Amino acid sequence: MHVVFLLIIGAAAGFLATRFMRVEMSTLATVMVGVAGALIGGMVIRFLLAASGALAGLVGAVLGAMVVIWVVQRLRS
């Protein structure tokens, strides 16, 4: 069940991050960026804020996905 939850949060985070940063990606790339962001951002936010719950995880996932998108854009150029 944890993997399904991670995919759902990752898809939402990837979607929001691509919209905030005005980037066009395929659906699979969006989900992959969101999952990577969820893993990175979720751990960082929970560590820094010592907060738990879906809202902190979603915020961390969106921030993490935005960082991943930024890194990918820098590597491509």
Domain ranges of the chain: 2-76
* pTM given for the model: 0.58
Q: Which residue, 10, 3, 22, 1, is CA-closest to 65?
A: 10
Give the span between the Cα atoms of 51 and 27, in whole angstroms.
30
Gyration radius of the chain over CA positions? 12
pLDDT-derived band of residue 51, with 50, 70 and 90 as boundaries? low
Is the Cβ–Cβ distance between 69 and 33 less than 8 Å? yes
Give yes or no for residue 35 having a pLDDT over 60: yes
Q: What is the pLDDT of residue 24?
A: 87
Give the Cβ contact number of residue 58 at 10 Å: 18
Give the span between the Cα atoms of 10 and 14, in whole angstroms.
6
Average pLDDT over residues 11-39: 87
